[in-house]
A and B are shown apart, each in its own frame.
Chain A
């Protein structure tokens, strides 16, 4: 996975996976939700985005996944120029991302297994590989034994673990989560966050987590970007590039979902 990404990174910085340059987003009226934000995230980093409510955290994350287009500034993610990405390439781009939401967004009429397999079917993984990949992903979030359960019969923490398994089963380069622990009690929240941390550590997956949980942020000792009124007011704890050098995991090897996805057409 690392090789694949490194060979494809932006020319000025080989390891930058997310690059926002002077990005602003203004909704139809009112003050800008994101105001002249410049930041970069390196491969394998774990980044928290915090800040008070309404400070623009979710908006920033939506810009990173191309759900929103900024009104100003440039956005590059995994070599894709998101200002100019063609509509037909958005799906390809998103296959490199794992996205987790506060409200889980599971398919309520299906069981745990189907919820995770769903993600594999969408990207058209051959049928004979789906089972193995899904069970691996469920194993990682310790839900193998409940794979036949309807998701509505799970606790909040378990549901978020299913969502996490779904986000990870396609082996994304970047995991992005918007308040993934927002609906969970403190202990469960900590559990989920530890799980995300493990994914980052073991597989080298770049992680961006939006949270307002100061307790978790201060316990984790990761890079923290704090926002206020759309601007970054603090960015500290950035990890040195050397930390994430050798990741080897045969059980959960990253597949190349998008070998020609890097868009140099600009």
Chain B
């Protein structure tokens, strides 16, 4: 493309945008709304995933052994379990350790009265998972071992967390999908209006020998511009809303912040900015291409 036709495309594109102010604003508004919601969902989701991941690190499976199982046998099982893919870490807790922490926590100085370890069979393995969805699989493996007396697991937490995670994901995809369609529709209408009002001019251009690129360029650029502007506004808004929301939650629900830590806005934005801009420009592009196909066949 020559510089002159690039200038033509850009210049006419801007002119179209301003000639059709109300339509342009409606389009930018819808894209903004769409991408703002996307930004919100993305922020919540990312934080949620972050929280789940943190929680997952604490989710463990505890394995207790039958009476008479020796420390060597337990160690063998530990090595076997560590080999497994979904396992992040395995800690051996001996009966003495278990007694020590129990007595320290609940008995204090009264523990002196015990000469034998009342938690004789309480030697156990604490297994931490790297992939929480594989928990059931691991548990049934452990239960199949003959040395194993009991397996304690925290299935409820794990399932709830990943279930909620998925639900938020689906909901956001659905809502954003609908808004996306509305945005494409509105952009398409905006561009169609521009084409309608330039119908005669476009006709003459074709008689004179304008290339498709020359005729269509401005309308494609108008679409890209609408999409780009529509992606900037929600980014700015999201930035302030996010920080404010974190501030409010942190100050009002102090307890909550003990449980979870929010991601800093910068971390969210390093991915949210490119995704939003690409989405916005993409919506604009699709909207304009669809319209041009329909209204600008030569």
Contact = CB atoms under 8 A, between A and B. Distances in A.
Contact of A91 (B2, B200, B204, B212): B212
A107 B197 CA distance: 12
A88 B214 CA distance: 12
Interface string B197-225: 00011011111111110100000000000
A23 interface: no
Nearest to A163: B204
B208 A105 contact: no
A215 interface: no
A88 B209 contact: no
B298 interface: yes
A35 interface: no
B153 to A, nearest CB: 66
B2 A105 contact: no
Given A90-B298, A124-B2, A107 B201 contact: yes
Interface stretch (A3-11, A92-100, A141-149, A228-236): A92-100
Contacts of A93: 209
Interface string A70-103: 0000000000000000011011111111010000
A258 B200 CA distance: 25
B298 A87 contact: yes
A159 interface: no
Interface residues of A, number: 25
A88 B2 contact: no
A94 B206 contact: yes
Interface residues of B, number: 18
A96 B201 CA distance: 19
Contact of B214 (A65, A105, A122, A126): A122
Contacts of A257: 209
Interface in B165-206: 200-201, 203-206
A133 interface: no
A122 B2 CA distance: 12
A105 B206 contact: no
A65 B203 CA distance: 13
Contacts of A87: 212, 298
Interface in B12-66: none
A257 B203 CA distance: 20
B144 interface: no
A65 B48 CA distance: 64
Nearest to A65: B207
A97 B204 CA distance: 12
Contact of A124 (B4, B201, B205, B207): B4
A126 B200 CA distance: 25
Contacts of B4: 121, 124, 126-127
B243 interface: no
A90 B205 CA distance: 12
B210 A122 contact: yes
Nearest to B203: A105
B207 A91 contact: no
Contacts of B5: 124
A126 to B, nearest CB: 8
A123 B207 CA distance: 11
Closest 3 CB pairs of A and B: A95-B209, A94-B209, A122-B210
Interface of B: 2, 4-5, 8, 200-201, 203-212, 214, 298
13 contacts: A65-B207, A94-B208, A97-B209, A99-B207, A99-B208, A105-B200, A107-B201, A107-B204, A118-B208, A122-B210, A122-B214, A124-B4, A124-B5
